[in-house]
Amino acid sequence: MSDNTTGTSSHGTGPFIAAIDQGTTSSRCIVFDRDGRIVAVDQKEHEQIFPKPGWVEHNAAEIWVNVQEVVAGAISKAGITKDDVKAIGITNQRETTLLWDKNTGEPVHNAIVWQDTRTDALTRELGRNVGADRWRRETGLPLSTYFAGPKARWLLDNVEGLRERAERGDILFGTMDSWVIWNLTGGTNGGAHVTDVTNASRTMLMNLHNMEWDQRICESMGVPSVMLPEIKSSAEVYGTAKGGALDGVPVASALGDQQAALFGQCCFSEGDAKSTYGTGTFMLMNTATKPVNSYAGLLTTVGYRIGDQPAVYALEGSIAVTGALVQWMRDQMGLIKTAPEIETLASSVDDNGGAYFVPAFSGLFAPHWNPDARGVITGLTGYVTKAHIARAVLEATAWQTREISDAMTKDSGVELTTLKVDGGMTANNLLMQTLADVLDAPVVRPLVAETTALGAAYAAGLAVGFWPDTEALRANWRRAAEWTPQMDKGVRDREYKNWLKAVDRSKGWLDESDV
């Protein structure tokens, strides 16, 4: 991201909303104007700490310092003062877990990042007699290493004396939204210990139906509820900033990053869906005010909640390997020099030549859930060239999206009408066209690429009346490009069938003894 995104024409004189995006690799602050245009950006990376294979940690104190710096940086680049900023919104890497001492404000341990797999044994233990779906009905989630509750339990079990301190009420739990908001609003000096419904829905501790901490699950998980933050909506004033570049400005939204992108893409109606194409892919579909139970292995999650309006739920499906497969073609196979060149190579042929690539590098996820699967390239003949494989690489992303979209339709009964896309891979025209072709639905890219930060800004702006309602936000939404389906139904059906055959070939590769 270059920092010269201030644009070419004047952005007027404000007022503005500042969004803090506390992400996995960096923290950023983006200032938006009333039209949703970016006025200034500042960004700072933080250290990725790998103490052991499979472990990933962040230094939360470093992150808080960075957040303060990028806020000051963005305000100064925008050439404005805190009086021009009507609210602060927060979006964050989801599930990353921190415990800190409420009297000193010091973290008791590095934050455990969402990718960290140290709770593998613990989550299997928690599911022991019942299986991974033990708390799916209450939380919408399967037991897995991603979610925050088991990470908190791990810290309580492994940091000397921590459980006693927690039970005495000296320790606070939070995902990164809570940490940033608590510090912004004063920290040890009366900081607000809160989280929003979307972040709380990724802890495995919140009951999706009443939006409260589930006492029974907290007990089984071994997480004392005294340390949990208060669950708030995604768009309301949690407090005001104390000190720093935005002293006195209301802190008015929090959303997990994928939910923020859903909000920034203006997916406010039932059936609206967005998909973010980066290293991996996250697709979320708005299912309105009912949590849809998934039988296809999707996650049920809170999409957002505005003030005291009813919560809006979403179904979520993720694809582990999308942009990562393009990187694999570049770094492991050496078939391309840069990621965008995959399109050049793939465009040199008209079709996949009969080849299909199922990148089940670490098993198959939704909707197949086959951990024993491994990647396959199938349908090979002497005719197939590297260009056909490049095409199969792009088609793999498209077909996996189709499978998730089908699962969402099956679970919710709602047909996908249009898919809104964002992320680095949307620069790939061939991929976007293929996506429209296999989904048999238009694919639309919005004009603002920063949908995550925009979503946080929108929610904060709604909370303080900067924008009146979601209709006003929709009016801001601009189409930058649209791809319409052009594939013949016969071809689509045949190709889908072939893809599913290829998926079958990837299943059950590992033997019991390999696992």
Ligand X SMILES: Nc1ncnc2c1ncn2[C@@H]1O[C@H](COP(=O)(O)OP(=O)(O)O)[C@@H](O)[C@H]1O
Residues within window 122-161 making contact with ligand X, judged by CB under 6 A: none
Out of 256, 297, 423, 455, name the contact with ligand X by CB under 6 A: 423
Pairing of strands 235-240, 250-256: antiparallel
**422, 399, 394: which is closest to 276 by C-alpha?**
422
Q: How far is the CB of 410 from ligand X (least distance, A)?
A: 27
68 in contact with another protein (CB under 8 A): no
Residues within window 260-279 making contact with ligand X, judged by CB under 6 A: 278-279
Of 38 and 67, the one with the shorter C-beta distance to another protein is 38
Which of ligand X, another protein, none has residue 332 at its interface (CB below 5 to 8 Å by kind)?
A: none
Q: How far is the CB of 259 from ligand X (least distance, A)?
A: 16
340 in contact with ligand X (CB under 6 A): yes
Are the beta carbons of 164 and 154 closer than 8 angstroms? no
Out of 2, 13, 332, 381, name the contact with another protein by CB under 8 A: 2
Write the CA distances from 327 to 347, 424, 448, integer angstroms.
18, 12, 25
491 in contact with another protein (CB under 8 A): no
Pairing of strands 419-422, 376-378: unpaired
Question: HEC profile for 319-386?
Answer: ECCCHHHHHHHHHCCCCCCCCCHHHHHHHCCCCCCCCEEECCECEECCCCCECCCCCEEECCCCCCCH
Out of 448, 459, 460, 502, name the contact with another protein by CB under 8 A: 448
446 in contact with ligand X (CB under 6 A): no
237 in contact with ligand X (CB under 6 A): no
What residues contact residue 94 under an 8 Å CB cut-off, 6+ apart? 114, 175, 198, 199, 202, 256, 257, 258
CB atoms within 10 A of CB 426: 22
Residues within window 426-445 making contact with ligand X, judged by CB under 6 A: 427-428
486 in contact with another protein (CB under 8 A): no
Q: Encode 147-169: b = buried (16+ Cβ within 10 Å), e = exposed.
A: bbbbbbbbbbeeeeebbebbeee
385 in contact with ligand X (CB under 6 A): no
Of 25 and 344, the one with the shorter C-beta distance to another protein is 344
Compute how many residues bind another protein; rule: CB under 8 A: 31
Where does this chain touch ligand X (CB under 6 A) — which range of 100-108, 154-162, 218-226, 319-327? Answer: 319-327
Which of ligand X, another protein, none has residue 409 at its interface (CB below 5 to 8 Å by kind)?
A: none
Out of 120, 167, 230, 482, name the contact with another protein by CB under 8 A: 482
SS3 397: helix
339 in contact with ligand X (CB under 6 A): yes
Residues within window 24-53 making contact with another protein, judged by CB under 8 A: 37-38
Out of 237, 320, 324, 349, name the contact with ligand X by CB under 6 A: 324
- End-to-end Cα distance, the chain: 41
CB atoms within 10 A of CB 255: 34
Out of 410, 479, 497, 501, name the contact with another protein by CB under 8 A: 479
DSSP string, 232-281: E-SEEEEEE--SSTTTT-EEEEEEEHHHHHHHHTT--STT-EEEEESSSE
72 in contact with ligand X (CB under 6 A): no
Site string for another protein, 121-160 (x = CB under 8 A): ----------------------------------------
421 in contact with ligand X (CB under 6 A): no
Which of ligand X, another protein, none has residue 1 at its interface (CB below 5 to 8 Å by kind)?
A: another protein
Q: What's the sign of the alpha-carbon dihedral 356, 360, 365, 371? A: positive
Q: How far is the CB of 281 from ligand X (least distance, A)?
A: 9
Site string for ligand X, 276-305 (x = CB under 6 A): --xx--------------------------
Q: How far is the CB of 50 from ligand X (least distance, A)?
A: 18
343 in contact with another protein (CB under 8 A): yes
CA 355 to chain centre: 31
CA atoms of 335 and 352, how far apart (whole Å): 16
CA atoms of 278 and 431, how far apart (whole Å): 13
DSSP string, 118-177: TTHHHHHHHTTTT-TTTTHHHHS----TTSHHHHHHHHHHHSTTHHHHHHTT-EEEEEHH
CA atoms of 225 and 169, how far apart (whole Å): 10
Are the beta carbons of 236 and 309 closer than 8 angstroms? no
Residues within window 424-443 making contact with another protein, judged by CB under 8 A: 424, 426-429
Of 199 and 322, the one with the shorter C-beta distance to another protein is 322
Q: How far is the CB of 476 from ligand X (least distance, A)?
A: 22
CA atoms of 419 and 271, how far apart (whole Å): 10
Residues within window 175-214 making contact with another protein, judged by CB under 8 A: none
By CB under 6 A, name the binding residues for ligand X: 278-279, 323-324, 326-327, 339-340, 342-343, 423-425, 427-428
By CB under 8 A, name the binding residues for another protein: 1-2, 4-5, 7-9, 37-38, 337-344, 424, 426-429, 447-449, 478-483
